[in-house]
Amino acid sequence: MCQNLLRPICAFILPSLCAFTLNAQFSGPESVEYDQAMDRYYVSNTTSHVILVLNTDLTTTPFASGLVNGPHGLELKGDTLFACSGGRIKGYLTSTGAEVFNLNLSASFLNGLTTDGTLLYATDFSAKRIYSIDPAANTFSTLVANTVFTPNGIVYDPLEDRLVVVAWGSNAPITEVDKVTGAMTNLINSGLTNLDGITIDCMGAFLVSSWSPARITRYMPDFSSAATVVSAGLSSPADIDWDPVNEKVCIPNSGNNTVLLAPLSCTSGVADNRAMPVVRAIPDPTPGPVRLSLQMERPEPFVVVDMRGTIAASGTLPPSGQLDISSLRPGPYVIHLTHLGVKVRVVKE
């Protein structure tokens, strides 16, 4: 399907790396979502109203069709791929593509979508709202009734247990949203125009897509600095995602009907400038066994959370601080000692 339609693009992102632009069968690509369990990508197409699977062999296959509106933002939660479709949130089994969820929020234009592992959070681009959705209960509530700015992309940050939202417009702000109260805090005015997507990479940094200039900007976790990591081959880059297994940022180019898979290096592991006290995972990256550089007098409860906020493991950490995460899939994780309030990032090889 994508045969002979592969165009390598080199020397524009972290020298010596190479990205691939795919231009087969996409029609208004809006969102890309990586599926670790199946090692494939879902692509929403707003013109043809379908969701396609982009396989690792660079072929595409149908996944879901007949969506009257959109689809726009995509978010994977467990075995279900959720999609923004007009004023509704729909869900499809990843194993079959069968629709298993359809909730009418009576929203104006649902655009961005994320999850903390339990709830979904969606932005309403037109009504300037943020909704909280409980798929298990088939219910929803308004988290933010008026964002003031036009909300677009949204991501859950498991380290700070917060939502981070990017805005449409000039000098677009990036805003922290409390996922319980809806309280908003400005993180930075970007100086960029029309921010579309946001995701978190292997370094715990925030990747943000903008239309003007057309680029992907990486912000450090505390938003103290920023750098352009992708600037070529982009045309109205939309709702991006991070692939932690293959270390790529996944970019739908809504302006020219292409999808770009651009490598980013994770060789230095994951730095955490926000955790207090400073605790490190040794070694990092690790094939499985890891020790936390923290002196403890007694065993402490912990959870291991992936970059989507899903709990991947839990238990009690012995005073030695030793833990084995060999059973987890490769990628970045956060080890959270819940009673101590300590959070440590680690990369599983």
Q: How confident is the model at residue 121 (pLDDT cuts 50, 70, 90)?
A: very high
Q: What is the pLDDT of residue 264?
A: 81
Q: Which residue has the higher pLDDT, 222 or 102?
A: 102
Structure tokens, 140: 């929803």
Q: What is the pLDDT of residue 4?
A: 28
Exposure b/e, 216-238, CB count within 10 A at least 16 = b: bbbbbbeeeebeebbeebbebbb
Q: How confident is the model at residue 26 (pLDDT cuts 50, 70, 90)?
A: very high
Q: What is the pLDDT of residue 309?
A: 67
> How many whole angstroms separate alpha carbon 296 and alpha carbon 347?
23
3-state secondary structure of 94: coil
Length of the chain: 349
This prediction's pTM: 0.79
Query: How does pLDDT run across 132-181, given as a tens digit for each residue?
Result: 999 999 999 999 999 999 999 999 998 888 999 999 999 999 999 999 99
Handedness of CA 134, 140, 144, 149 (dihedral sign): positive
Check whether 16 has a pLDDT greater than 70.
no
> How many whole angstroms separate alpha carbon 69 and alpha carbon 74?
13
Query: How does pLDDT run across 298-318, given as a tens digit for each residue?
Result: 888 888 888 766 778 888 899
Check whether 199 has a pLDDT greater than 90.
yes
| Cβ atoms of 319 and 298 closer than 8 Å | yes
Structure tokens, 337: 């000692």
Check whether 112 has a pLDDT greater than 50.
yes
Q: What domains can be seen in the chain, in order of their start residue?
A: 6-263 (2.120.10.30), 281-348 (2.60.40.10)
Residue 96 has a CB neighbour count (10 Å cut-off) of: 11
Query: How does pLDDT run across 45-104, given as a tens digit for each residue?
Result: 999 999 999 998 889 999 999 898 999 999 999 899 999 999 999 999 999 999 999 999
Strand bridging mode 258-263 / 248-253: antiparallel
Let me know the angle formed at the C-alpha of 226 by 334 and 154, rounded to the nearest 5 degrees: 55
Q: What is the pLDDT of residue 17?
A: 38
Rg of the chain (C-alpha set): 19
Q: What is the pLDDT of residue 275?
A: 34
Check whether 200 has a pLDDT greater than 70.
yes
Q: Which of 31, 30, 52, 25 is nearest to 40 (CA)?
A: 52
Mean pLDDT across the chain, nearest whole number?
A: 87
Q: What is the pLDDT of residue 21?
A: 57
Q: What is the pLDDT of residue 297?
A: 86
Q: How confident is the model at residue 229 (pLDDT cuts 50, 70, 90)?
A: confident
Q: What is the pLDDT of residue 279?
A: 84
